[in-house]
């Protein structure tokens, strides 16, 4: 080994060989998108509004509240 090479420790080897769990073929119920593709924050805002509205609507059906 020459002095120009850095020794490869076990931790560096594990990180270098790591596989993204979201991209494993055996993971179910997970959308596999291209690298760098992110979900718009507006989908999360919309989901929050819909869920909150549904909870309020269901609570209004309960008498005495």
Question: Where are the alpha helices (H) located in 1-65, listed in sequence order?
Answer: 10-16, 41-60
Name the DSSP letter for residue 21. G
Q: How many domains does the chain have?
A: 1
Residues contacting 65, CB < 8 A, separation 6+:
59
Query: How far apart, in whole angstroms, are the C-alpha atoms of residue 8 and residue 56?
Result: 57
Whether residue 60 lies inside any domain: the answer is yes
List, for residues 20-54, the tens digit of each pLDDT value: 666 666 667 777 778 788 888 999 999 999 999 99
- pTM for this structure? 0.47
**Residue 8 falls inside a structural domain:** no
Residue 22 lies in a domain: no
Domain encompassing residue 46: 39-65
| Rounded distance between C-alpha atoms, residue 50 and residue 10, angstroms | 47
Per-residue pLDDT band for 63 (boundaries 50, 70, 90) equals confident
Is residue 25 assigned to a domain?
no
């Amino acid at each position: 080994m020459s002095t120009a090479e850095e020794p490869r420790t076990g931790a560096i080897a594990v990180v270098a060989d790591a596989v993204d769990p979201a991209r494993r073929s055996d993971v179910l119920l997970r959308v596999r998108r291209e690298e760098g593709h992110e979900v718009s924050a507006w989908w999360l805002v919309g989901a929050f509004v819909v869920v909150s509205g549904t909870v309020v609507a269901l609570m209004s059906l309960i008498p005495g509240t």
